[in-house]
Chain A
Amino acid sequence: MNKHVSPRMNRRAFVIGSAALGTGLAIGLDIPFGGPAVVRAADGSPEVNAWVVIRPDDTVVIRIARSEMGQGSLTGLAQLVAEELECDWSKVTTEYPTPGQSVARKRVWGDFSTGGSRGIRTSQDYVRKGGATARVMLIQAAADEWRVPASECTVANGVITHKASGQTTTYGKVAEAAAKLTPPAEVKLKDPKDWTIAGKGLLRLDTTDKTTGAMVYGIDVKLPGMLNAAIKDCPVFGGKVKSFDEAKVAGMKGVKKVVKVGDSAVAVVADTWWHAKTALEALPIVWDEGDNAKVSSESIAKWLAEGLDNEQPAYVGNRNGDAKAAIAGAAKKIEAVYNYPYQNHATMEPMNATALYTADKCEVWCGTQNGEAAFAAVLEASGLPADKCDVHKLMLGGGFGRRGMTDYVRQAVEIAKQMPGTPVKLLWSREEDMAHGKYHPVTQCKMTGAFDANNNLVALHYRLSGQSILFSLRPEALQNGMDPAAFQGVAQSGEAVFGYSVPNLLIEHSMRNPHVPPGFWRGVNVNHNAIYMECFMDELAHAAGQDPLEFRRKLMGSHPKHLAVLNAVAEKIGWSKPAPRGVYRGIAQVMGYGSYVAGAAEISVIDGTKIKVHRIVASTDPGYIVNPAQVERQIAGSFVYGLSALFYGGCTVKDGRIEQTNFDTYNSMRINEMPKVEAVMVPSGGFWGGVGEPTIGVAAPAVLNAYFAATGKRIRSVPLRDQNITFA
């Protein structure tokens, strides 16, 4: 145990540490003397309910089902529970239940999935109820002890008071009795305007260990007798292992075994990962690459370009009037074609998982954005039933959507299965991580806008061509073949609604699915849809000879929430006043994940090729804000992620495989390239939107539109490095 860790962090480290050792949060049922059952945490403390465990020393352990990957929802969810619980925030600690425990208890913790910016917004109601229910039970237990009506008792900071009799007690003292009570059928939740713990920019609960090296990520797991595995999957997606020559590496230092993993990968298991990786690089492997080896970025681009042709079939996602006819009869029309490439998540911590398989048990330790999906993968790969499997979640060294996938979990189990009784940690090299991502999908978009004689926009045709994520990952979610998520940010209804009213509108998707596996990459389809639409809005404004902000405003009368965030950034950046000399502005807005966001950038450009970003202003309306300090960080982080992809990103395909291999060919922004992001939070209440992803949608278009303002040149292709444009 690190001697510098604060007491609270000691407990947190203990939970993680004990999970890493396999004890987890062992839950036992205790039925003394035939009374009501009390469910107990690993240390014997009583559960008041599934969300709240209270120790005799008044420590409140809040259970968190969603995963923490830096986005701060571990702290935010704890704030929501603590708010309703009325406990002492300084005594709060957290722990993860395991998916196996949840399944054994009829999914008492609900969904574990942490993606789609849903961590807080889709569990806020039941976790708040969990806190409120526990509070009612704790007060009742005190009232019972004092033989007074519960209605005469009050609570603050975990101290219960009966004013009339002058008695006080603490949660820690009554938790045992409270745990035996029947929970109330109904509880009333606080009005967010009365919040004192939630809604505040409290410090995160998980910081100290992240500054001392004590935090245990998946890559840091240590188990007795553990071996390490390095893996190489066929570089061409869909290819297979034909053969490998184990004898060539069998004598290398530390090597224990060479195993085939599924039909497409080979792993070397050794005493250390460095030995495993060294041997893997020396291992001759013959691949059956298959026909996909013929695919290149050029062939994909050609195929997608064909989908821009109106004669090709397409799914209609949003329609109003008759756009094609209106365009045909318009006084003026403009057209533009944009494209956006594959992107790798490039989490700082490469994929990894540790598995221990025995004849009757399989356990996995890993960072995952979806504990239950990882659990299902363990069941399937091990062939063991649910009560013989479990997943111990650890801190994620970044997720961004990548760790919602379970490929690395499955591989770890398949390796461990070939070495029963020996725990094996599988770690991907950065090169493997770059070669086997679940990439942001590739798309192109042709947009046509038409004006009447008075420069009013009368028609807009948005024709997207490219890859569907759901087609590959959740085909059951397709609607008669259509991917509804393809229209994120330009949809007619739902949580990512198009923010403009155009009398004749056609938004459609010609679906083309190359062999490169797509995935949910922070912001998902909002990324390219917002770039295409918001850059084209700028083009339309220019064609109409109007200010880009004023042009948008005229189309947004029926979308007051979209407009409000746009106005908020315009005001903050000073849109109505001239920018400093040599500095140019761009603006963009989009709705995604139930939230309304807008962004504006001030840039200067040297020689048309060097961009200096001076200022970024971003506003967001997510309905409610649970931790403004963390929301601010998510907004700023979205710009770093989105602008890294714009300037440096882009994964290209050659001979069926991804060409980029590491951060030297897939770079990421550094501190010198990133200005301060001025966040403007305008929560309007009445709905719960997400925070982690929507802002990324406006990052690139704000800068691209500013680039046009500075240079008069449109950039319609990402990444900028392909056009020799970089940071100044």
Chain B
Amino acid sequence: MANLTINGKTFTLDVEPDTPLLWAIRENAGLTGTKYGCGIAQCGACTVHIDGVATRSCGVSVSEVAGKKITTIEGLAPGDTLHKVQKAWIAQDVPQCGYCQSGMIMAVASLLNEKPKPTDADIDAAITNICRCGTFQQVREAIHTIASA
């Protein structure tokens, strides 16, 4: 059993302590917006925020995040309106297949928290998610649009 705080709610989940957070989120908490891509923290599709920091949830066990604040794509929006990254993603039609975009958006939201006006070099350093469709151009442009708003 583990008590996890996800998107401001407490979940009591029937999982072993070494279960990767990704699978606890997807299968036990039932929040499927966070995606499985590789399971070895390479691709970033499973990126969530742990205490506000973008983290690849496949590489973190449930026992490591007890008492921490976990935010998934479903909880990114602060209230009834979408988060600024989601809005920009819609306005600029960023996703193609969209599978990597939950993780991409979480990574970008974290970057913008730290650096509200990131340079291209900042983007290059912080956004290391794989997108096989190749949406990088739109991702970069959308980040700059948000930063200049």
Contacts and interface: CB of A to CB of B under 8 A. Distances in A.
A348 B33 contact: no
B137 A636 contact: yes
A366 to B, nearest CB: 14
A399 B140 CA distance: 24
Interface in B102-128: 102, 105, 123-125, 127-128
A687 interface: no
Taking each of B36, B43, B73, B81, which has the highest tally of chain A beta carbons within 10 Å of its own beta carbon? B36
Contact of A670 (B86, B101, B130, B138): B130
B97 A220 contact: no
Contact of A662 (B42, B133, B140): B42
B132 A346 contact: yes
A274 B36 CA distance: 11
A357 interface: no
A663 B96 contact: no
B32 A348 contact: no
A272 B16 CA distance: 12
Contacts of A664: 40, 42
A347 B43 CA distance: 11
Contact of A219 (B32, B80, B82, B102): B32
> Does more than half of chain B's interface fall in helix, strand or loop, or is it mixed?
loop
Interface in A346-403: 346-350, 395-400
A220 B135 CA distance: 22
B55 interface: no
A672 B98 contact: no
A520 interface: no
Given A350-B36, A633-B135, A210 B98 contact: yes
Interface stretch (A90-98, A201-209, A300-308, A707-715): A201-209
A395 B38 contact: no
A350 B77 CA distance: 28
A77 to B, nearest CB: 16
B32 to A, nearest CB: 4
A209 B36 CA distance: 17
B99 interface: yes
B86 A212 contact: yes
B30 interface: yes
Contact of A633 (B32, B125, B128, B138): B138
Nearest to A676: B137
Contact of B93 (A203, A216, A253, A672): A203
A272 B94 CA distance: 32
Interface string A594-636: 0000000000000000000000000000000000010001001
A664 B58 CA distance: 15
Contacts of B98: 70, 206-207, 209-211, 215, 395, 397
Given A213-B74, A629-B93, A349 B82 contact: no
A421 interface: no
A638 B134 contact: yes
B37 interface: yes
A398 B134 CA distance: 11
17 contacts: A4-B77, A203-B90, A206-B98, A210-B98, A213-B73, A213-B102, A274-B23, A347-B97, A399-B97, A633-B133, A636-B137, A640-B133, A644-B132, A662-B40, A663-B43, A668-B43, A672-B128
Interface of B: 16, 19-20, 23, 27-28, 30-40, 42-43, 45, 72-74, 77, 80-82, 85-86, 89-90, 93-102, 105, 123-125, 127-140
Interface of A: 2-4, 69-72, 203-204, 206-217, 219-220, 222, 228, 253, 272-274, 346-350, 395-400, 427, 429-430, 629, 633, 636-641, 644, 662-664, 668-672, 674, 676-677
